[in-house]
């Protein structure tokens, strides 16, 4: 008999993917330019030219057998060394290659952390709105995901609710900032408050409560807003990073985990991360792309395009009467739905070929996610549609 859990997970596409597939089919009928697909978070900005140059240089100059060979399970030594130097330079940290484990994107980084930490009965807390895949990653590792309701005022952390949900079974807390889907960046004040609760509760329960920082959008931040580097605030932090968004390489599946030397029982924790990678089959991240990202470690794709899109869309929607917390990073807007049932609202939007994702799957009903990593032209052309929709609800600009 098959695993019922896997059968269930594999049979049902995520809501985002269902909407995305619908958009592709509709485009065949009405033309791509008539579909306003804001469903999926696939970066539309090309990878910087340095990525192409790095690939060509590696292919031309390096030993052809070595390029595609196995590396150490945790990644090539030189690659890990180069990447940690880049992180140290940018964030004032002091990691060495021994603190880094190369992975297959953020999804693998997070899954490995959950696997490395989970014992039977363990709980993992996250804050709504949250990346929906956390649930299956945690459950896949044998843990339980506990969701703290959103603070819809500003999408910082709802601390009252957090204090009620943290308990002796809490193994770790996972945060994602800049956030998918709200676009909000947790302020230093939020981080300090979170860390002080984690410290207090770790002492009270007599065991470490880890902090997992899922940060594929770290570099996509606007208006000079600072994205605090969490290992500097809390030593028991695991950082999960990916080049999917910052370098526009989502299909290449490349990222890393940082395990700081200061973490409790560093040697064992690093070994458990290696164990998690081994069990999940995520050893040896793709060799060529390990080398490519090392050569481009200080680079990003052209983020100014996302900022322009955010400004156009946010300013446009606010003028029409939509209500939305202003996002400071990532490439998502998370306005309030114009009716209580966000799913019904998205169905109405769909009638205009405007494809939005209801907030329900992100643990935040009554909101919709707009993924604005699209051509700026699509945003400009969609504004009259958003306006028509608002008028249908009697909202006047
Ligand atoms: N975490 C968050 C918050 C994301 O938005 C995504 C992808 O959209 C991931 C993790 C997974 O990233 P990757 O493609 O690097 O596995």
Model pLDDT, residue 214: 98
**How much distance in Å is there from the Cα of 185 to the middle of ligand 1?**
16
Same domain for 231 and 378, yes or no, is: no
Model pLDDT, residue 317: 98
Same domain for 148 and 282, yes or no, is: yes
Residue 56 buriedness (CB in 10 A; 0-12 / 13-18 / 19+):
exposed
Q: pLDDT class for 5, splitting at 50, 70, 90?
A: confident
Write out residues with Cβ below 6 Å of ligand 1. Answer: 41, 105-107, 131, 176, 180, 214, 216, 242, 244, 250, 255
Model pLDDT, residue 397: 58
Q: 258: helix, coil or strand? A: strand
DSSP 149: P
Same domain for 254 and 119, yes or no, is: yes
Pocket mutation for ligand 1, best pick of 42, 106, 213 (most atoms within 8 Å of C-beta): 106
Same domain for 88 and 227, yes or no, is: yes
Instruction: Specify if 373 maps to a domain.
Output: yes
Pocket mutation for ligand 1, best pick of 216, 220, 361, 362 (most atoms within 8 Å of C-beta): 216
Instruction: Specify if 57 maps to a domain.
Output: no
Residue 13 has pLDDT above 80, yes or no: no
**How much distance in Å is there from the Cα of 160 to the middle of ligand 1?**
28
CA dist 317 and 335 (Å) reads 9
**How much distance in Å is there from the Cα of 61 to the middle of ligand 1?**
32
Same domain for 271 and 182, yes or no, is: yes
Q: In whole angstroms, how far apart are CA 381 and each of 182, 316, 397?
A: 23, 12, 18
Please give the number of the atom of ligand 1 that sits closest to the Cα of 108.
Answer: 16
Last residue of a domain, which of 249, 279, 295? 295
Minimal-distance CA residue to ligand 1 atom 5: 180
Same domain for 196 and 338, yes or no, is: no
Instruction: Specify if 58 maps to a domain.
Output: no
Model pLDDT, residue 9: 85
Same domain for 231 and 290, yes or no, is: yes
Same domain for 306 and 283, yes or no, is: no
Summarised one tens digit per residue, pLDDT across range 204-229 is: 999 999 999 999 999 999 999 999 99
Summarised one tens digit per residue, pLDDT across range 364-381 is: 999 999 999 999 999 999
Number of structural domains in the chain: 2
Model pLDDT, residue 177: 98
Cβ contacts of residue 222 below 8 Å, gap of 6+?
306, 307, 310, 328, 329
Same domain for 234 and 147, yes or no, is: yes
Model pLDDT, residue 37: 96
Instruction: Specify if 152 maps to a domain.
Output: yes
Last residue of a domain, which of 295, 325, 350? 295
Instruction: Specify if 251 maps to a domain.
Output: yes
**How much distance in Å is there from the Cα of 107 to the middle of ligand 1?**
6
Please give the number of the atom of ligand 1 that sits closest to the Cα of 109.
Answer: 16
CATH code, domain with 306: 3.90.1150.10
Model pLDDT, residue 10: 87
Residue 396 has pLDDT above 70, yes or no: no
Contact predicate 209/198, CB 8 Å:
yes
Model pLDDT, residue 14: 83
**How much distance in Å is there from the Cα of 203 to the middle of ligand 1?**
32
Q: pLDDT class for 310, splitting at 50, 70, 90?
A: very high
**How much distance in Å is there from the Cα of 41 to the middle of ligand 1?**
9
Please give the number of the atom of ligand 1 that sits closest to the Cα of 41.
Answer: 8
Instruction: Specify if 281 maps to a domain.
Output: yes
Contact predicate 231/210, CB 8 Å:
no
Last residue of a domain, which of 295, 322, 340? 295
Q: CB atoms < 10 A from the CB of 160, how many?
A: 10
Summarised one tens digit per residue, pLDDT across range 83-115 is: 999 999 999 999 999 999 999 999 999 999 999
Contact predicate 222/372, CB 8 Å:
no
Instruction: Specify if 376 maps to a domain.
Output: yes
**How much distance in Å is there from the Cα of 80 to the middle of ligand 1?**
21
Q: Which region among 3-12, 165-174, 187-196 has the lowest average model confidence (pLDDT)?
A: 3-12
CATH code, domain with 91: 3.40.640.10
Q: 289: helix, coil or strand? A: helix
Same domain for 124 and 220, yes or no, is: yes
Same domain for 274 and 336, yes or no, is: no
Which candidate, 197, 134, 189, 187, places its Cα nearest to that of 361? Answer: 134
Which candidate, 340, 346, 343, 341, places its Cα nearest to that of 386? Answer: 346
**How much distance in Å is there from the Cα of 251 to the middle of ligand 1?**
11
Same domain for 195 and 290, yes or no, is: yes
Q: pLDDT class for 36, splitting at 50, 70, 90?
A: very high
Q: What percent of the chain has pLDDT over 70?
A: 99
- Structural domain boundaries, residue 111: 63-295
Please give the number of the atom of ligand 1 that sits closest to the Cα of 176.
Answer: 3
Please give the number of the atom of ligand 1 that sits closest to the Cα of 130.
Answer: 3
Instruction: Specify if 308 maps to a domain.
Output: yes
């Amino acid at each position: 008999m098959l695993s019922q859990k896997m059968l269930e997970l594999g049979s049902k596409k995520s809501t985002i993917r269902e909407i995305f597939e619908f958009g592709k089919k509709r485009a065949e009928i009405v033309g791509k330019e008539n579909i306003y697909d804001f469903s999926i978070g696939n970066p539309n900005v090309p990878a910087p030219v340095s990525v192409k140059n790095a690939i060509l240089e590696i292919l031309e100059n390096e030993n052809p057998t070595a390029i595609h060979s196995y590396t150490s399970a945790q990644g090539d030594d030189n690659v890990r060394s180069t990447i940690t130097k880049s992180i140290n330079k940018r964030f004032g940290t002091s990691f060495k290659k021994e603190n880094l484990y190369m992975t297959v994107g953020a999804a693998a980084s997070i899954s490995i952390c959950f696997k490395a930490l989970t014992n039977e009965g363990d709980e993992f807390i996250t804050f709504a709105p949250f990346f929906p895949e956390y649930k299956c990653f945690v459950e896949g590792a044998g843990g339980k995901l506990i969701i703290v309701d959103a603070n819809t005022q500003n999408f910082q952390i709802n601390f009252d609710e957090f204090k009620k949900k943290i308990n002796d079974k809490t193994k770790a807390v996972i945060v994602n900032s800049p956030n998918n889907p709200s676009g909000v960046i947790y302020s230093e004040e939020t981080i300090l408050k979170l860390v002080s609760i984690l410290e207090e509760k770790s002492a009270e329960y007599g065991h470490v409560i880890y902090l997992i920082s899922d940060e594929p959008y770290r570099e996509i931040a606007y208006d000079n807003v600072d994205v605090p580097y969490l290992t500097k605030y809390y030593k028991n932090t695991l950082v999960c990073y990916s080049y999917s968004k910052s370098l526009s390489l989502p299909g290449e599946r490349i990222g890393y985990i940082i395990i700081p030397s200061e973490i409790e029982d560093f040697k064992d924790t690093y070994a458990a991360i290696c164990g998690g990678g081994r069990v999940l089959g995520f050893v040896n991240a793709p060799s060529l792309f390990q080398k490519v990202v090392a050569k481009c470690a200080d680079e990003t794709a052209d983020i100014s395009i996302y900022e322009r899109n955010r400004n156009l869309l946010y300013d446009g929607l606010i003028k029409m009467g939509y209500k939305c917390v202003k996002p400071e990073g990532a490439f998502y807007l998370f306005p309030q739905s114009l009716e209580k049932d966000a799913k019904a609202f998205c169905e109405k939007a769909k009638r205009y070929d405007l494809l939005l994702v209801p907030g329900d799957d992100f643990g935040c009903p009554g909101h919709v996610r707009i993924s604005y990593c699209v051509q700026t032209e699509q945003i400009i052309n969609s504004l009259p549609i958003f306006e028509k929709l608002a008028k249908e609800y009697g909202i006047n600009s």
